[in-house]
Copies of this chain bind each other. A is one copy, B any other.
Amino acid sequence: MSEATFGEYGGQYVPEALMPALAELEDAYERYVRNNEEGFMHEFRERMADFGGRPTPLQRADRLSERYDREIYLKREDLLHGGAHKLNNALGQVLLAKYMGKERIIAETGAGQHGTATAMAAAHLDMPCEIYMGRTDVNRQRPNVYRMRMNGAEVTPVEAGRGTLKEAINATMRDWATTVENTHYVIGSVVGPHPFPTMVRDFQSVIGREARDQIREKAGRLPDSVLACAGGGSNTMGSFHAFVPDSVEQRSAKDSSGQRPRDGVSLYAVEAGGSSLEIDEEEGLAPNSATLSTGTDGVLHGAMTKLLQSTDGQIMESHSVSAGLDYAGVGPELSHLVAEGRVTPASVGDDAALEAFHRLSRLEGIIPALESAHALGYLERVAGPDAGEYDVEADLGDLVVVTVSGRGDKDLETVLEETEKRDIEAAPDVEVFGQ
């Protein structure tokens, strides 16, 4: 069986009623995903190719390479069906639910990316689907709500609390606790109780597997570093998993042909720094979601991991200009890899992410998701022309892969609004033309 924990992180902190479902899921995961019973993985890969559009390209970013004076390659998950890496996981889980004989799919969503991916996968595989979404998110992410509805999913607004992702997860867990016998809960990131973090990572790991092959093909060697944004961490773990063994230690044990990277492949998980890394204990507010950098150990949504929490243990309201990173927890495996030193946590604030959004749009003709813009913002902080001004030191090396986890069409309104409030370098004049 797969390990339920990653060092001290992970586990299964859920109500007893769900434990048998987790056991059943673990069993199905072992059989279908790990041992490819009934050709599950074959079908999954074929559907990800034909329906999802895999493989996604690894593209050399000419102008970023120039700007940062090193080779920058972009892993283009923005080209996946639905517009983000989320489908890798959603399709995997919905297909698995089908193999398990489940009759209904539920999922939570924050910004709506995981919800739309799940709704698409459920429509594709003809499964009834219900998506829980906080009231605030329903109101501010209308287009995604409509997309889900058009794919035939029910969208259920969650009125509790501040009506965002955290509350949506709680509501989905409650639904699951009631309907667990015929329903599968498609968790949207590498979070939640075992086996979710492992399984979601496996479904997402195609990102890094492809990127690893592609960079060797294109650049003739492994990269010096890989950068990916981290919310719950599915994009991060998906991007990193294939590279985790390429560490300094493990690689220096191998032969030292020119094929290997300088010092192993460094892995940078870039979180949302929001407006500040300080926490407002009084208000229960963390104006960021830099869990790996600033969080403390605790249990949330079924797993022991790093959290943004008060000293009493109440979970903080997190914040980021990018809704998809706006979560107070993070995947337990990522917490572990950071604790071990294999993954370096980093964070980039709202302003730098907005700048990076505009920069990539303008220089490369790719409008990235605001989430992905965080990883690009880190590149600028470390290697940009004004890098000296920031207190960020990182040795990214000469060959860098950045995962563009999604496209930014969904973010246009937010970006316009937020850009107008600030003085953002690289932003175009987005005056609304007179009527």
A-to-B contact residues, CB < 8 Å: 49-51, 53, 56-60, 62-63, 76, 78-81, 83, 119-126, 138-139, 142-143, 145-147, 149-152, 155, 157, 358, 361-367, 409, 412, 415-416, 428-430, 432-433, 435
Docked Cα-Cα span, A434 to B75, in Å, equals: 39
Candidates B51, B138, B139, B147; contact of A409 at CB < 8 Å:
B147
How far apart sit A415 and B409, CA to CA, in the bound complex (Å)?
Answer: 18
B428 lies within 8 A of A152 (CB): yes
A53 to B119, CA, bound (A): 23
29 residue pairs of the A-B complex, CB under 8 angstroms, read A49-B57, A50-B57, A50-B58, A51-B365, A53-B56, A62-B124, A62-B126, A63-B126, A78-B81, A79-B81, A81-B366, A83-B409, A120-B366, A122-B365, A123-B361, A123-B362, A125-B365, A139-B433, A143-B412, A147-B409, A149-B429, A150-B361, A150-B412, A150-B430, A151-B362, A151-B365, A152-B362, A152-B428, A157-B433
The residue on B at minimum CB distance from A145 is: B433
The reply to whether B152 and A361 form a contact with Cβ atoms under 8 Å apart is yes
State the Cβ distance, A39 to closest chain B Cβ, in Å. 16
Contacts of A78 in B (CB 8 A): 81
Starting from the known contacts A147-B409, A151-B361, 10 additional A-B residue pairs (CB-CB under 8 Å) come to: A53-B53, A62-B126, A121-B365, A125-B365, A150-B361, A150-B362, A150-B367, A151-B362, A152-B428, A409-B409
A259 to B355, CA, bound (A): 55
8 tightest A-B contacts by CB? A123-B365, A124-B365, A120-B365, A50-B59, A150-B361, A53-B79, A152-B362, A50-B57
- Indicate how many identical chains form the complex: 2
Contacting pair A365 B119 (CB below 8 A):
yes
- Complex Cα spacing A361 to B138, Å: 20
Given contacts A146-B430, A364-B123, A364-B124, contact A76 B57 (CB under 8 A): no
Judging by beta carbons under 8 Å apart, are A57 and B53 in contact?
yes
Known: A146-B412, A146-B416. A435 touches B76 (CB 8 A): no
Cβ-defined contact, B50 with A143, below 8 A: no
Q: Shortest Cβ distance from A379 into chain B, in angstroms?
A: 18
* Chain B nearest CB, measured from A419 CB (Å): 10
A123 to B79, CA, bound (A): 17
A121 to B365, CA, bound (A): 6
CA–CA, A80 and B428, complex, Å: 25
Report the separation of the CA atoms of residues A150 and B416 in the bound assembly, to the nearest whole angstrom: 10
A150 & B51 in contact (Cβ 8 Å cutoff): no
Give the residues in chain B near A62, CB-CB below 8 Å: 124, 126
**Inter-chain contacts of A155 with B (CB < 8 A):** 433
Q: Shortest CB–CB separation between residue A367 and chain B, in angstroms?
A: 6
A413-B149 Cα distance, complex, nearest whole Å: 13
Complex alpha-carbon distance, A119 and B150, angstroms: 29
Which chain B residues border A415 with CB–CB below 8 Å? 150
Residues in chain B near residue A151, CB distance under 8 A? 361-362, 365, 367
